[in-house]
Amino acid sequence: MSKEEKIQEYERKKLIGDGVTLTEFMDERYENREDKNNIYGVGVSDAEFRAFIINYLLGEDWFVVDPLGQTQVNEIALYQILEKYSKRYRKECKRRK
């Protein structure tokens, strides 16, 4: 697959909500950077991080039905990610009961 085809595939996945892999996400960012000689990472904005981590760990079909603000949605996502992936968090919850 050519570079152009990879970019088109990545853009298609973004538009229709298919899961984007971490490799695709970062490759797209590095290929489009202006300063190709920079040795430091390109960085990820807070919104990009939040959207990627929620889609990657909770699934692209995850959503909150209630009419809540973004900070409240972030809290719900945080709890669900910890519940699903953190043994330490699950132990903490058991101690609280």
Q: Does this model's pTM top 0.75? A: no
Tell me the residue type at 28.
E
Return the H-helix or E-strand segment holding 91.
helix 87-96
Per-residue pLDDT reduced to its tens digit, 75-93: 999 999 999 999 999 999 9
Which among 53, 50, 49 is positioned nearest to 72, based on CA atoms? 50
- pLDDT, residue 56, reads 87
